[in-house]
Structure 1
Amino acid sequence: MKFVNRIILILFFLHGRVFFTFAQPTAEITRVAPGVIKLTSGKPEQFSPYYFCNEKPMTAAMGKLPEGKLPFNIQDIRIDITERGVLVEIPLDKQEQLYGFGLQMGSFNQKGLRKKPIVNDNPSHDLGYTHAPMPFYVSNKGYGILVNTSHYATFYCGSTAKNTGAIKLSDGKSGNSVAELYKNESPASGYVAVDVPGVQGVEVYVFEGPELLNVLQRYNLFSGGGALPAMWGLGIKYRVKADFNQQQVGKMAEYFRANDIPCDVLGLEPKWQTAAYSCSYVWNKDFFPTHDQFIDTMRSKGYHINLWEHAFVNPKSPLYAPLQNKSGNYLVWNGLVPDFVDTSASKLFANYHKETFVLKGISGFKMDECDNSNLTMGNATWSFPEHSRFPSGIDGEQMHQVFGIVYQKAVYNIYKELNTRTFLDVRASNAFASSYPASLYSDTYDHHEYIQMIINSGFSGLMWSPEVRESRSIADLMRRSQTAVLSAQTLYNSWYLQNPPWLQINIDKNNKNEFMENAKAVEADVRKLLNFRMSLVPYLYSAFADYHLKGIPPFRALVVDYPDDPKVFNIDDEYMIGQGMLAAPLTAESDERKVYLPAGNWYDFNTRKKYAGGQEYVIKTGYTDLPIFIKEGTILPLARPVEYISPDTRFELTCYVYGEQAETFSLFEDDGVTFDFEKGKYNILNLSYQNGKGTVMKTGGFKGSRFQVKKWEVIR
């Protein structure tokens, strides 16, 4: 369907003054993919988030989803263009619940709030400031709205009331507190208003359901399918101290193997290069005198090396001269800000990284500082200003919003072109990033927010690492470790610790090599958790395969699977992992917590006790247990733990069957390291259990073998 928008200038007089507005009864409406509608009005901006999405929509997979529908008429979405910019109004029902806006910190259910999704290195009062802001929200009524803008936009989520002449009169009583005085009595319903200043037009993408899960599937598939990281990326990543040299990193590598502690990736922090703020991208030979040999040695021991950097180019860098005329007109830490929107600038940056690092064996990068200095603090001025100009024509405000995306794109394309998968770290992102295997992280450290961000990431096609750094107690360390194990990336970041945090939680003593008396006992407890993570890799890998092939977020809020259950509308500390696992992490505040289990029957993974759904329970979980529940009917394949994942690792599986009747579980099998799965070189192993017998049915085009089912166990 297609309706051409007509813009009419209306003049009217009020109190002797002339006012004008643009009346826009309709917009151009186009169905761009199965279940995806685009509304276009005026002259949309060039450098929108979708402009940077190179991946084509997976229309075949989208076509297999249930037929989409909306709870309102598409023509009821109003787009007005004024001198200020664009105002978009989307109908909102009283019973609707709204979620999304990217990697939100501090808020979950967004209904009734004013959100301004702006890239920032710190949250502020639930306004929407975050590392990965997104002009995209979803409703439990089965639709999603994406306003395709890279400008700073404000979403009023049912929080405003218009002057329609039908105002309910106040009783005239004043409040007794500031909260009462400033309370907004208008209902959070009617419409969501989106204010986009400084633009002459806009595109609005509408993602149909009918269910909330289908909305997220359509969004991820429209973005090119969810990311499928290298299999080794789902193991354990450990970042060493910032000033470690080659010998010290080697000793840390030996420590993990000697103590049977799983580890796949070692991350090097700033001192690996000759200059870091800004960056030279040149090996520091005083610290890594034989860096190529070092990389080869680490790989022979099963380690992948990840390099920390940011995109601001130091004058001493070989990239400085080639990029000087392809960068913004402001510096950051006296370094250039590459115009990644310019294809030639992006290629220069990428080709240098390819030749200098990737072809030498570097498996990934930590792309830091690509968000923004803290906009809530007047003295936080390290990043480039919003009025910056770039050769491509993009301005500083837009560049801030998309900088993490174009940076990811430049680095990721190196690996894609080499047919080698990776798992990156990044500190900023935006819309249509589902296909990038990059996990976000933050310098903030509130544990509850870290749990909440796992859940919020699932609304927006993002991945999140609730990394473990220092801990104020052993309880804090263990609870954070449990959360890390139950996330997209299990990451310990010891950039200011001489030794792993489980050997000494006191920072000063850690850096003096003074260990806790019970260090070995704590180490053993951490080892147990990390071994569970390695056991979980086949299950997680299949969940990520569903993310890529079907668009199903591997980590998602309960409301996604149970959108009609009011009891889950505001649960921001429980989430689904894959097909049938519910996680309910704890913080150090208590050894017990309330857990709400939705409809159906559920099993406590640790005790195997069966619980009826639709109820709330108080659960106690030990430090070496996992706070997870398995839904009845689930087949859970767990592997014998390995210390690292190599191209020839073959997982020995025990399949746990929960309940008398089990649904088929589809295990995804491929080489785990290339993009050959996109050419059909993968297998699906359908695990089923009937009449007391487990069976494995394998189909597909992958000739190798990753999994071997050794045992079946029924839990009743």
Structure 2
Amino acid sequence: MREHGEEGLSALTRAEVVTVDWAGVTFKGSTSADETLVVRICAAGEGVIRVRLMQDMDARTRSARAISMVTPGSYHAVVTADESRVVLNAGGLRVEIRLNPWNMRFVDESGKVLAEQDPGRPDISGRLRTLPFGRSTVDGTPVAYHETFLVPADEAFGGFGESFTPVDKRGQRPLMWNFDAFGAESQRAYKNVPFYLSSRGYGILVDSGMPVEFDMCQSTHSDVQIVVPDDLIDYYVLAGPTPERVLERFGWLTGKPVLPPKWAFGAWISSGFFRDSQERVLERARTIRTKGIPCDVLHLDTFWQTEGHWSDLRWDPVAFPDPAGMLAELAGQGFHVCLWMNPYISHLSPAFAEAADAGYFLKKRDGEAYVADVWHGSYPASGIVDFTNPDAAAWFRGLLKPLLEQGVAAFKTDFAEGVPADSVAFNGMTGVELHNVYTLLFNDLVADVTREVAGHGMVWARSSYLGGQRHPAQWSGDVDATYPAMGSTIRGGLSHGLSGIPFWSHDAGGFTGTPTPDLYIRWSQFGALSPLVRFHGTSSREPWEFPEHAENGAIDALRLRYRLMPYIYSAAVVAAETGAPMMRALCVDYPDDPVAWQADLEYLFGKDLLVAPMISADGTRSVYLPAGSWVDYWTGEILTGGRYLTVSPHLDRIPLYVRYGALIPTTTPGDTVAEDPDITLVVYGLPDGVSRTEIRDMDGTTTVTATVDGDRLVVAADGPKRISHVELVGAAAEFVIL
């Protein structure tokens, strides 16, 4: 670190008020390097405060040239000021500003200090340990803006996208740069989100598509440092007090999640990453139906196209001579079909020359098409479609639309993390500037054309960035078929959920390699109790390709999912409305429990089911039950929470617990989720007073109540669904259905 005033680093030292308006305050700031900068602080919604530090008011994040990721709301701020101090109140959050020396702190409506700037304290040698609110320059040119907050020793942090590291990011250093992560074993992530929430009841969102770096108490134990290599720092502080409230406000700024169609919550079974054909696809479908395996989606991976031509979006005419007929036959059996694709076109495909001649690819600095090794040597180099070019986007859209019109239901939007740093886009952006937001342009286009033709905007995306919750669903990429990788995958899903992305999945069985039969069963159980479930890998994940006991274990897991579908789909609707995750880290519901921030190999699925996948081959694990009472799903045993259990379940059972007093709507599992038999309501323990739940479905909302009336349990339903049966677990009583 450099000293104050040393060339290269400057910190804001004092400021004076320039203007006050209905939304906020503009300041003229002076730095330790005798620079003059502009500070703008305003309300961006109730309980949301926006902070910008910049050269002038015209400064914008560089990614805005391609896409706007944040839409600030409007809110009438209450501003009080005197010669030394300014206070801006945005409802549930206020910022207290000292003008000289400059300092800010954010305070909630109860008076609790949520976050406070660290002005930069020198160490014993006189050099700064942190990068304070200010900017850094090289040869007089600004290269980054930065901010630092003091944090207590017990503060925990979650978010940053699909990071496969422990959910509490304290002690980590997340870099917002989308990678082809090659699995789930490092900090490399396919999906980054420059946002985190805190155990103290707030969140911070940075609006930038550049490689923002967050130092979460790694360099120093008591500071969070944010470095933004952009033309300004533009961040938002979001009040809680709960993670759910923070995520709701996050949705105000970046958009609500998009709900996938109901069929997407059924099982997806893939062809796998090996050669396929029309005959094999139809045989696969017949086998699934003959064996009674619940399944709604057949996924066709790369080989629906000619090998080596990926991804030119053209059927392989030899392997698939009649795709329209095939799609119609599959639809008649209740299947939806998803096709793999990516935004790269092999130089071996005839489509490459067409696109290159028209200027549809990203370019090198000399103007030639940038042909990149996006497959890391495994397959031919490719051109990268430049979605900042309107003509290129229209051309690519024209390749997708006929497939949808044939009957394709959705696309798996693979890759899109590979924009080279030294490439140049049609709109003048450099590869560094475009790299992270490229995936948003790609998925926006695919989602839009899918919505136009198929009536929904679902994709199955590997990469994402800020605002990606509008692209359901997303999956965890190419994880290894090992127990440790499954554990890391759980952490990735929980972190992504804390980043505002509720509709997430993974490859059941792992992607790379072949799972052992026991791992296949365990991962199938985890998949069945995930927001969405897909069986896919480099080798077959079809249940009948495994020993009989593993086949039966996977099918039983799927039948459990389909039995719980009324509960699962209801949780999905709520997630789309609120932005809260379906697969909930324990800290979402127990933010004041320090253990809940650390117990990151289990989760709540919806609000009432606690899932603890088996993550090792020895068949034993610890499970933390939060405060309250819980009912063992399999045995009906009532358990006291606030403690750890050690469990060794049989291979056919995943540790699964139900919140005491919960009402869980279930149904008879069928071949698809479209089948809609009557509802069986399972009541876990006698409610204390009235228990209530809502069944959300395509036909509306049904409110269900269960009330203890003497020796009777009275169940009533108001809405389109009919409760045909009631089961009582963990208690005994007569029941009456009204």
Q: Once the two structures are superposed, what CA deviation does each residue of 1:354-387 show, in whole Å capped at 9, x if it has no partner? A: 1x21121111111122224xxxxxxxxxxx4211
Q: Give the one of 507, 520, 525 matched to 1:467.
A: 507
2:411 match = 365
Q: Give the one of 131, 146, 155 matched to 2:205.
A: 146
2:85 match = none
Q: Give the one of 522, 527, 538 matched to 1:479.
A: 522
Q: Once the two structures are superposed, what CA deviation does each residue of 1:15-64 show, in whole Å capped at 9, x if it has no partner? A: xxxxx36476x7312222233222122123231599444999799xxxxx
1:256 match = 288
Task: Tell me the CA shift for residue 464 of structure 1.
Answer: 3.0
Q: Does 1:408 align with 2:443?
A: yes
Higher mean alpha-carbon deviation, 119-128 vs 417-426, is at 119-128
Q: Is the 8 A contact 1:309 1:365 kept in 2?
A: yes
1:600-615 to structure 2, matched below 5 A, reads 600-615=628-643
Q: Once the two structures are superposed, what CA deviation does each residue of 1:449-482 show, in whole Å capped at 9, x if it has no partner? A: 1122221121112343231245442211111111
Higher mean alpha-carbon deviation, 27-36 vs 302-311, is at 27-36
1:296-311 to structure 2, matched below 5 A, reads 296-311=328-343
Q: Does 1:47 align with 2:78?
A: no
1:294 match = 326
Q: Give the one of 69, 72, 91 matched to 2:113.
A: 72
Higher mean alpha-carbon deviation, 257-266 vs 548-557, is at 548-557
Going from structure 1 to structure 2, the CA distance change for 1:453 and 1:532 (only over 3 Å counts) comes to same
SS of residue paired to 2:680: strand
1:445-464 to structure 2, matched below 5 A, reads 445=480, 446-462=485-501, 463-464=503-504
Measure, in 2, the Cα distance between the counterparts of 1:146 and 1:54: 9
Measure, in 1, the Cα distance between the counterparts of 2:64 and 2:433: 8
Measure, in 2, the Cα distance between the counterparts of 1:466 and 1:124: 11
Going from structure 1 to structure 2, the CA distance change for 1:320 and 1:611 (only over 3 Å counts) comes to farther
1:75-224 to structure 2, matched below 5 A, reads 76=117, 79-83=133-137, 84-122=143-181, 128-161=187-220, 188-189=221-222, 191-197=223-229, 199-224=230-255
Q: Give the one of 633, 658, 673 matched to 2:684.
A: 658
1:552-567 to structure 2, matched below 5 A, reads 552-567=580-595
SS of residue paired to 2:451: helix
1:229 match = 260
2:477 match = 442
Q: What one-letter code is carried by the residue in structure 2 that aligns with 1:532?
A: L
Going from structure 1 to structure 2, the CA distance change for 1:409 and 1:319 (only over 3 Å counts) comes to farther
User: TM-score, structure 2 length as denominator?
Assistant: 0.80
Q: Once the two structures are superposed, what CA deviation does each residue of 1:321-362 show, in whole Å capped at 9, x if it has no partner? A: 3574233111234432122234443333223311x2112111
Q: What one-letter code is carried by the residue in structure 2 that aligns with 1:628?
A: L
Q: Once the two structures are superposed, what CA deviation does each residue of 1:638-688 show, in whole Å capped at 9, x if it has no partner? A: 111011133xx3242211111221531111121xxxxxxxxxxx6211111
User: TM-score, structure 1 length as denominator?
Assistant: 0.82
Going from structure 1 to structure 2, the CA distance change for 1:151 and 1:203 (only over 3 Å counts) comes to same
Q: Give the one of 42, 63, 75 matched to 1:30.
A: 42
Q: Give the one of 524, 529, 534 matched to 2:552.
A: 524
Measure, in 1, the Cα distance between the counterparts of 2:578 and 2:613: 27
Q: What one-letter code is carried by the residue in structure 2 that aligns with 1:113?
A: Q
Q: Percent identity?
A: 23
Going from structure 1 to structure 2, the CA distance change for 1:419 and 1:493 (only over 3 Å counts) comes to closer
Higher mean alpha-carbon deviation, 683-692 vs 459-468, is at 459-468
Task: Tell me the CA shift for residue 487 of structure 1.
Answer: 0.9
Task: Tell me the CA shift for residue 209 of structure 1.
Answer: 0.5
Higher mean alpha-carbon deviation, 560-569 vs 333-342, is at 333-342
SS of residue paired to 1:313: strand
Q: What one-letter code is carried by the residue in structure 2 that aligns with 1:449?
A: S
Measure, in 2, the Cα distance between the counterparts of 1:352 and 1:392: 22
Task: Tell me the CA shift for residue 546 of structure 1.
Answer: 0.8
Measure, in 2, the Cα distance between the counterparts of 1:314 and 1:693: 64
Measure, in 1, the Cα distance between the counterparts of 2:262 and 2:542: 24
Going from structure 1 to structure 2, the CA distance change for 1:654 and 1:319 (only over 3 Å counts) comes to farther
1:319-334 to structure 2, matched below 5 A, reads 321=354, 324-329=358-363, 330-332=370-372, 333-334=380-381
Task: Tell me the CA shift for residue 89 of structure 1.
Answer: 1.8
Q: Once the two structures are superposed, what CA deviation does each residue of 1:93-139 show, in whole Å capped at 9, x if it has no partner? A: 22211111110012321112222232112279987420101211110
Q: RMSD value over aligned CA atoms? A: 2.7
**Consecutive unaligned residues in structure 1, runs of 5 or more:** 11-19, 60-64, 162-187, 373-383, 505-518, 671-681, 699-704
Q: Is the 8 A contact 1:606 1:626 kept in 2?
A: no
Q: Once the two structures are superposed, what CA deviation does each residue of 1:176-208 show, in whole Å capped at 9, x if it has no partner? A: xxxxxxxxxxxx22x3111123x2212102221
Measure, in 2, the Cα distance between the counterparts of 1:418 and 1:643: 26
Going from structure 1 to structure 2, the CA distance change for 1:650 and 1:124 (only over 3 Å counts) comes to closer
Q: What one-letter code is carried by the residue in structure 1 that aligns with 2:41?
A: I
SS of residue paired to 2:426: coil
1:510 match = none
Q: Once the two structures are superposed, what CA deviation does each residue of 1:224-255 show, in whole Å capped at 9, x if it has no partner? A: 21231111111110111431110011111000
Q: Is the 8 A contact 2:417 2:463 kept in 1?
A: yes
Measure, in 2, the Cα distance between the counterparts of 1:303 and 1:482: 22
1:313 match = 345
1:578 match = 606
1:340 match = 387
Measure, in 2, the Cα distance between the counterparts of 1:56 and 1:22: 28
Higher mean alpha-carbon deviation, 242-251 vs 222-231, is at 222-231
1:677 match = none
Going from structure 1 to structure 2, the CA distance change for 1:277 and 1:72 (only over 3 Å counts) comes to farther
Q: Does 1:621 align with 2:649?
A: yes
Q: Is the 8 A contact 1:141 1:212 kept in 2?
A: no
1:535 match = 563
Going from structure 1 to structure 2, the CA distance change for 1:409 and 1:642 (only over 3 Å counts) comes to same
Q: Is the 8 A contact 2:182 2:478 kept in 1?
A: no
Higher mean alpha-carbon deviation, 42-51 vs 225-234, is at 42-51
1:684 match = 701
Task: Tell me the CA shift for residue 419 of structure 1.
Answer: 6.3
Measure, in 2, the Cα distance between the counterparts of 1:278 and 1:295: 21
Higher mean alpha-carbon deviation, 574-583 vs 601-610, is at 574-583
Q: Does 1:391 align with 2:431?
A: no
Measure, in 1, the Cα distance between the counterparts of 2:197 and 2:45: 18
Which one has more relative contact order, counting CA pairs under 8 Å at least 6 apart? Answer: 1
Measure, in 2, the Cα distance between the counterparts of 1:281 and 1:554: 33
Task: Tell me the CA shift for residue 495 of structure 1.
Answer: 4.6
Measure, in 2, the Cα distance between the counterparts of 1:309 and 1:425: 10
1:15 match = none
Measure, in 2, the Cα distance between the counterparts of 1:555 and 1:492: 18
Q: Is the 8 A contact 2:31 2:134 kept in 1?
A: no
Q: Give the one of 720, 724, 727 matched to 1:710.
A: 724
Q: Is the 8 A contact 1:151 1:397 kept in 2?
A: yes
Task: Tell me the CA shift for residue 602 of structure 1.
Answer: 0.5
Matched length? 626
Q: What one-letter code is carried by the residue in structure 2 that aligns with 1:193?
A: Q
Q: Is the 8 A contact 1:240 1:495 kept in 2?
A: no
